[in-house]
Structure 1
């Protein structure tokens, strides 16, 4: 099953599951309960902490959910905040961080990079948590649309259409859709 966030990130061959951690978790759980897939593939945009170029395609099966306050030593979490899906032949060297907030401070990149976190996408952590709960192998394919800095929103808006076209072409070719 191929899924995407929706709104500006829609594909004819993917189910939209909603934007952010909560909508995506609720809607994907609902989909999974009614028709459990053999695998889950999330496709969407991602912001970058500096190690990729705009329009790069990056595959991953690992996600984190780390808020900026954690790096600033102003918070902690008693739960596991990193999840890696097993069973799909996709790298997890690049971990994708998920939050309901978009990072706009370039000075935080160093913390993410040191932790092996290269991208930011609002939904991927939720998808991997749901997949883990239902024992479904999962992965994500992302197109970099922006850097996580003060221009993040403007870059996303400028690049989203072309990014979605590149991502769609990549996924169609890879999976012969």
Structure 2
């Protein structure tokens, strides 16, 4: 089954949530046009203070809509854009993708997955206790599983709208699992 864009969101100012839009324009090498996190170098507030000149590997935040269903079963009502993502997907195993996977969205846009989103403590300001639900620790390995989506860079720009198809293109072998960026 091909994936699909469920919603698109952007915000011109720093805030936790991003309003849904009818469309967003992805700009090659920058991110979402008009979004506060767009840019060639790091644009996330906390990281800008100590790594301002590093490349922005977090130009676009994608989150799977299925997470909202999982959270609803635990009593958390969350909708697209409310956790700060730019693109909400459905039927794409974002967390299972390898580093470097390409996501073809709509007619032209191509994103390269760079890593996992590291959820911040602000998520508990949005919904108390939610931080503990967007990551879990494997009791055997002691490793964390981060569930709050993936980050990507724009390899080819274009307009993206809800209901646009998403095609996944895997990188050449060997595949490398996603790490936090």
TM-score (norm. length: structure 2): 0.26
- Higher relative strand content: 2
TM-score (norm. length: structure 1): 0.27
